[in-house]
Structure 1
Amino acid sequence: MNAAAVRQMVVTALTGATDAGSSVYSPRDWSTSADMYPALLVQTPFEQKKSQVRNTPAFTTITTVRITGRVQEYDGDTTDDGAMKAELALEALRDQVERAVINSYELTRKIQKYAEVRSTINVDADGEAHMGQLLLEIDIEHYQGPEDFYPVQSVPLEGVDIAIVVPDGTPQPGISLNLQE
């Protein structure tokens, strides 16, 4: 399993499981527009491998999955509550994202653990509407072993010649095998 496989399992877990519905994008440009909100953007920006043993490709790997959630909310007709609505929408989205990923059977059965979860919420009122952004990072620990790095590129074996060294005067035993595909 690699970072791309982890990212795809997270996308699958999120699609249809949050207020973002099917607006889960990965990989894609990070620019978004109002008709897409709420939206989730998924990427795997960091990966760290720690070797488990010498002379064998066996690693405890931590892949950081970054999920960016975006919402847009307008103030009400009589109240300036757009920022509050954006923050509440982001808090709900954060809970939904955590539940969808952590409860994903497909993901949970293939990893070792969820090592850490970090999140931040930011609401900005620079434009006509209140833009809210959730940044949620989940460190997912999983194993990577020889099966993730092989097959090794090699020269195909075409034949084998076997000869046994015997004393002088003794018939020379041997065999020659030509291998064909």
Structure 2
Amino acid sequence: MNAAQLRNMVVTALMDKTDAQSRVYSPRDWSTRSEDYPCILVQTPFDHKKSLGRNVPQFHTITTVRVTGRIEEFDNETDYGAERAELALEALREQIERAVINSYELTRVVQQYAEIRSQIDIDASGESHMAQLLMDIDIEYYQGPEDFYPIEPHPLDGIDVTIAMPEHTPEPHISINLE
């Protein structure tokens, strides 16, 4: 498994399981517009591999899956759009956590969800309240030799051996057949 496969699995886990319904995008240009909301954008900006030892490509890998949820709310006569935007993002955060953590396809291939961080931001600088949820999910999994392309060795054509002997000693006679 690698970061791209993990990202695709998270997209699949989120599809039709949140208020964003099928508006879960990855990879995609990050600009969005009113008809896209609510929507979820998924990317994997960080990938950290920690070796399990020398000579064999084995790693504990932690990939940070960044899930960005976006919504837009307008003020009306009875309440403020900012309140509805924050409540909607809090609900979206819960839906995302449940969809990812409860995904059987994900949990069967990962070691753990190491950490989940989230942040909500609401901007009222335009005519609407643009709200964004930024959630980073650190997912740990194992990567071994099977996850990397096989190393293609160069064929051994010969070996040069030089033996330095002190003066006035018999020369050693060594014969090595490589065939």
Q: TM-score, normalised by structure 2?
A: 0.84
User: 1:49-88 residue pairs with structure 2 within 5 A?
Assistant: 49-76=49-76, 78-88=77-87
Equivalent residue number for residue 111 of structure 1? 110
Q: Give CA deviations for 1:94-151 in whole Å, capped at 9, x if unaligned.
A: 0000000000000000000000000000111011110000000000000000001132
Normalized per residue, which structure has more strand?
A: 1
Moved over 6 A (4+): none
In 1: Cα distance, 2:154 partner to 2:108 partner:
37
Unmatched runs of 5 consecutive residues or more in structure 1: 157-175, 177-181
Equivalent residue number for residue 46 of structure 2? 46
Once superposed, what is the RMSD of the aligned Cα atoms? Answer: 1.4
What displacement does 1:81 show?
1.1
Equivalent residue number for residue 121 of structure 2? 122
- Opposite residue 30 of structure 2, the aligned amino acid is W
What displacement does 1:154 show?
4.3
Partner SS for 1:121:
strand
Establish whether residue 92 from structure 1 lines up as the match of residue 91 from structure 2: yes
Q: TM-score, normalised by structure 1?
A: 0.83
In 2: Cα distance, 1:8 partner to 1:54 partner:
31
Equivalent residue number for residue 25 of structure 2? 25
Number of paired residues?
157
In 1: Cα distance, 2:81 partner to 2:64 partner:
32
What displacement does 1:79 show?
3.4
Partner SS for 2:27:
coil
In 1: Cα distance, 2:30 partner to 2:136 partner:
16
- Opposite residue 141 of structure 1, the aligned amino acid is E
Equivalent residue number for residue 13 of structure 1? 13
What displacement does 1:155 show?
5.6
In 2: Cα distance, 1:45 partner to 1:89 partner:
25
Q: Give CA deviations for 1:141-168 in whole Å, capped at 9, x if unaligned.
A: 0000000113223468xxxxxxxxxxxx
Q: Give CA deviations for 1:41-65 in whole Å, capped at 9, x if unaligned.
A: 0000001000011111000000000
In 2: Cα distance, 1:131 partner to 1:37 partner:
10
